[in-house]
């Protein structure tokens, strides 16, 4: 078989793989059956490119096709039934079957919405047969008093058990501690996750690693809304359990590697009026005119030549006044008119009138 779109060749030395649809055809399964077989571990799959699109190696397909009883045995291991068919399979009534499911004796493996948007739970046929063989006394007659009391209180464990089963599948697939933490966090409301995971960067990382919901992108908004509602824990005991589990998993993830964070911002330029050495957190040579670093080249800073000085247009100090340090002039005590000051600036310092 030479397929460029659905298979990858062995020219690079890697085992040849097949896309999910072609692998289902090769194993004589429907797409949903193959997906369930992968979840239950009956078929080994690998991540493809792009991530999220699983592929099955030809070696795995050859192994399954060569197994005894193929394909009926593989189909039977992933066969799902509803309430009516499940009740017939274990020789009980649909009402008794529903009560056993609500009390958690049989665990659903998936669900769908019917035309009335009601949730229809599906169960694995092998699981039901195993339960019937272990608990024949629960299939008929009067239920024990504790089970009747739980049913009278309105207890229904179907969604809770489905979430627990799905979480087990997700955790078996995860190799990274942060991925396991994200799988647990996906069962809790974002508000509860924020209470347990206080760091916003860690929450953002968990959100990026959140498992894909068990529905296709083409599903209707009603299906997505119902599924999102069933994905989150709603019982107080269940919520408390998952929060404790999330806390322990978060500690393990933090110990393995920190969550990614954005790069630190670049240092801001020095503000006006703030010495450069203090603004940049280091020692900066003094490059002001007349400083030692400029005139002679202080240690750690090259000598910077001074720019040529123009004529000194400042007025000398008035006679009889202290002129201050040598080489410096003090400002006049009286401010000259603007026109006179402009004329003085046009003249040379040697021809300037005395003060």
Q: In a 3-state reduction of DSSP, which class is residue 3?
A: coil
Q: Which residues contact 117 (CB under 8 A, 6 or more apart)?
A: 222, 226
Query: How many distinct structural domains can be found in the chain?
Result: 3
Residue 205: its pLDDT value, please? 96
pLDDT, one tens digit per residue, over 225-236 is 988 999 999 999
Ramachandran area for residue 324 (φ above 0: left; ψ -120 to 50: alpha; else beta): left
Residue 126: its pLDDT value, please? 96
pLDDT, one tens digit per residue, over 151-172 is 999 999 999 999 999 999 999 9
Residue finishing a domain among 222, 238, 256: 256
**Dihedrals phi, psi of 46, to nearest 5 degrees:** -135, 155
User: Which residues make beta-bridge pairs with 55?
Assistant: 19, 46
- Please indicate, yes or no, whether residues 106 and 123 belong to a single structural domain of this protein: yes
Q: Is the dihedral of CA 157, 162, 167, 169 positive or negative?
A: positive
Answer whether residue 95 is part of any domain. Answer: yes
Answer whether residue 132 is part of any domain. Answer: yes
Q: Which residues contact 250 (CB under 8 A, 6 or more apart)?
A: 181, 196, 197, 202
Answer whether residue 290 is part of any domain. Answer: no
pLDDT for residue 269 is more than 90: no
Answer whether residue 277 is part of any domain. Answer: no
Percentage of the residues of the chain whose pLDDT score is greater than 70: 67
- Please indicate, yes or no, whether residues 168 and 207 belong to a single structural domain of this protein: yes
- Please indicate, yes or no, whether residues 163 and 252 belong to a single structural domain of this protein: yes
* C-alpha to C-alpha distance for 282 and 267, rounded to whole angstroms: 12
Residue 47: its pLDDT value, please? 73
pLDDT, one tens digit per residue, over 313-350 is 454 555 554 444 454 545 545 565 666 666 666 655 55
* C-alpha to C-alpha distance for 203 and 181, rounded to whole angstroms: 10
Range of the domain at 63: 14-77
DSSP H/E element including 331: none
* C-alpha to C-alpha distance for 183 and 106, rounded to whole angstroms: 24
pLDDT for residue 11 is more than 70: no
Packing angle, helices 177-185 and 158-173, rounded to 10 = 170
State both tokens at 60: 């795995």
Answer whether residue 145 is part of any domain. Answer: yes
CB burial string 138-152: b at 16+ within 10 A, e below:
bbeeebeeebeebee
Residue finishing a domain among 48, 77, 106: 77
State both tokens at 203: 């929450």
Answer whether residue 307 is part of any domain. Answer: no
Name the pLDDT band for 302 (thresholds 50, 70, 90). very low
Would the pTM of this model clear 0.75, i.e. be above it? Answer: no
Residue finishing a domain among 156, 173, 195: 156
Residue with tokens 């599906």: 122
Percentage of the residues of the chain whose pLDDT score is greater than 90: 56
pLDDT for residue 282 is more than 70: no
Answer whether residue 336 is part of any domain. Answer: no
- Please indicate, yes or no, whether residues 135 and 56 belong to a single structural domain of this protein: no
- Please indicate, yes or no, whether residues 173 and 152 belong to a single structural domain of this protein: no
- Please indicate, yes or no, whether residues 221 and 181 belong to a single structural domain of this protein: yes
Answer whether residue 279 is part of any domain. Answer: no
pLDDT for residue 241 is more than 90: yes
């Amino acid at each position: 078989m030479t397929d460029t779109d659905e298979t990858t060749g062995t020219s690079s030395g890697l085992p040849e793989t097949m896309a999910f649809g072609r692998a289902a055809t090769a194993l004589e399964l429907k797409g949903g059956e193959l997906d369930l077989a992968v979840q239950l571990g009956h078929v080994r799959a690998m991540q493809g490119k792009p991530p999220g699109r699983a592929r099955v190696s030809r070696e795995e397909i050859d192994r399954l096709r060569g197994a005894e009883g193929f394909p009926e045995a593989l189909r039977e291991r992933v066969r799902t039934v509803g309430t009516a068919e499940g009740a017939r399979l274990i020789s009980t009534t649909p009402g008794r079957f529903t009560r056993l499911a609500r009390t958690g004796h049989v665990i659903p493996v998936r669900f769908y919405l019917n035309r009335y948007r009601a949730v229809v739970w599906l169960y694995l046929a092998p699981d039901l047969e195993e339960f019937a063989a272990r608990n024949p006394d629960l299939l008929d007659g009067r239920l024990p008093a504790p089970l009747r009391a739980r049913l009278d209180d309105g207890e229904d464990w179907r969604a809770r058990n489905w979430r627990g089963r799905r979480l087990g599948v997700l955790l078996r697939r995860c190799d990274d501690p942060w991925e396991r933490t994200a799988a647990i966090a996906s069962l809790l409301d974002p508000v509860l996750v924020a209470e347990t995971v206080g760091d916003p960067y860690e929450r953002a990382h968990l959100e990026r690693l959140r498992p894909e919901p068990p529905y296709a992108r083409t599903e209707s908004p009603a299906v997505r809304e119902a599924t999102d509602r069933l994905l989150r824990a709603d019982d107080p005991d269940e919520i408390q359990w998952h929060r404790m589990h999330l806390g322990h998993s978060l500690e393990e993830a933090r110990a393995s590697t920190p969550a990614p964070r954005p790069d630190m911002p670049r240092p801001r330029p020095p503000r006006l009026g703030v010495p450069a050495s203090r603004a940049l957190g280091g020692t900066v040579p003094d490059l002001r005119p007349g400083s030692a670093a400029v005139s002679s080249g202080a240690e750690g800073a090259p000598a910077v030549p001074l720019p040529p000085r123009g004529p000194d247009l400042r007025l000398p100090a008035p006679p009889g006044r202290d002129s201050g340090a040598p080489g410096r002039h003090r400002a006049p005590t009286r401010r000259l008119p603007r026109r006179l000051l402009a004329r003085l600036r046009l003249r040379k310092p040697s021809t300037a009138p005395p003060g």
